Every structure is written in C-alpha cells, then in structure tokens.
C-alpha cells in the first residue's frame, strides 16, 4: 500500500557558479571506497589510488574507475596487458597516501603479488582483481575506464577504507 509523502517545496538554483571547489565539496559528501590500480610496466611497479571504483556488470564481469586526464601515471599504466585492482582495507589510509605520493616511493615496503601477466595486487587487500581494459570513455576532465575481470579473490577479514569529505575513515560494524 502506498502512502502519500509530504513534500517540501525547494527549488535548486540553476544559475549558480559550479566552480571546482564547490563541486568537490558536494561530491565529497558521498562516501566511497578506495582501490589501488597497479601493474608491472617496463619492469617497474606502477600504480595509483582511485576512489571512483564501482561494479558495472556481472555478464560480462566489469568494473570501472575514473582517472583525471592530467594523471602522469595512467599513460604508463594503461600500456600494461593486465591491471591489478585491490580494494583497500580500513587500515590502509597511510598506504593510500603513499600511492598518491612520489612515483618512485609508491610501493616502498608494500607487500604485493605480481601475476604472470603483470597485474599487481596488494597482499593485504580485501578483494583483488586481475583485469584488462575493456573500454575507455572520455568524460570531461576525466576518463572512465571500464575493466573486464579475469580473476577475483576476496577475504572478509576487515572493513573497507572509506574516502569521505577529502579524508579517510572507516565503517562501523553494522547489525
């Protein structure tokens, strides 16, 4: 049975200045998980952190993330035949900052696994995926990268790292 819902008249102002700071603040209200996207490229571990990861399709199995067109890492990373995607756990905040830091230090002291095809995953991740690029879609100042999954491994040993309002947090156990 449907019940009437009380509505409050509130109109969004459509002529406002949608500057990047205002948009970033509004987008930051929505919490998201964080992943590492990595591969071995020309013999070196190459990777980045992304907070725009989402599942897309079960058949074929697809996931996506968005990357800024200004990224210095993505042009190298996209040359890899396979990419590893790791869902980061709630204790990975410092590691996430490291993955966003200087390229030469991103994997210092980080235990990783490298597949035969060069996909790099973090050993302590909540879920690890071996992927190939399915499609790239230009979208404004970002590119949406669709990845096809070829292997998956997951563990329920921890909670995910959460990115919210430009900072890292954690979920509380829910009943």
CA proximity to 36, closest of 89, 110, 99: 99
**pLDDT band, very low/low/confident/very high, at 44 (cuts 50, 70, 90):** very high
Residue 167: inside a domain:
no
CATH number of the CATH domain containing 57: 2.30.110.10
Residue 170: inside a domain = no
For residue range 49-89, list pLDDT tens digits in order: 988 899 999 999 999 999 999 999 999 999 999 999 999 88
Residue 140 lies in a domain: yes
- The pLDDT tens digits of the residues spanning 111-133 come to 999 999 999 999 989 999 999 99
Flag whether 46 is in a domain: yes
What distance separates the 2 farthest-apart alpha carbons in the chain? 62
For the chain, what is the mean pLDDT? 85
Please, is 132 exposed, middle or buried when counting C-beta atoms within 10 Å of its C-beta (0-12, 13-18, 19+)? Answer: middle
Q: Does residue 3 lie in a domain region?
A: no
For residue 70, what are the contacts with CB-CB under 8 A and spacing of at least 6? Answer: 141
Q: What is the pLDDT of residue 22?
A: 74
**Residue 138 lies in domain:** 32-158
Domain count, the chain: 1
The pLDDT, as a whole number, for residue 76 is 96
Task: Count CB atoms within 10 A of the CB of residue 82.
Answer: 21
Query: Residue 148's pLDDT is what?
Result: 98
* Residue 116 in domain: yes
C-alpha triplet 127, 33, 101: angle, nearest 5°: 95
* Any domain includes 104: yes
Q: Tell me, what's the pLDDT at 35? A: 92
Asked if residue 129 lies in contact with residue 63, where contact means CB atoms within 8 angstroms, the answer is yes
């Amino acid at each position: 049975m449907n019940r009437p819902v009380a509505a409050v008249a509130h109109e969004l102002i459509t002529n406002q200045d949608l500057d990047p700071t205002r948009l970033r603040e509004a987008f930051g209200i929505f919490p998201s998980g964080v992943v590492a996207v990595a591969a071995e490229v020309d013999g070196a571990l190459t990777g980045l952190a992304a907070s725009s990861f989402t599942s897309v399709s079960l058949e074929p199995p697809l996931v996506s993330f968005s990357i800024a067109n200004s990224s210095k890492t993505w042009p190298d990373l996209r040359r890899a035949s396979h990419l590893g995607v790791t869902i980061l756990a709630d204790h990975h905040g410092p590691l996430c900052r490291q993955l966003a830091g200087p390229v030469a230090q991103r994997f210092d002291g980080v235990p990783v696994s490298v597949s035969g095809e060069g996909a790099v995953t973090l050993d302590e991740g909540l879920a690890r995926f071996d992927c190939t690029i399915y499609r790239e879609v230009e979208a404004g100042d970002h590119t949406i990268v669709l990845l096809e999954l070829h292997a998956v491994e997951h563990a329920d040993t921890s909670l995910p790292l959460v990115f919210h309002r430009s900072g890292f947090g954690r979920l509380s156990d829910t009943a």
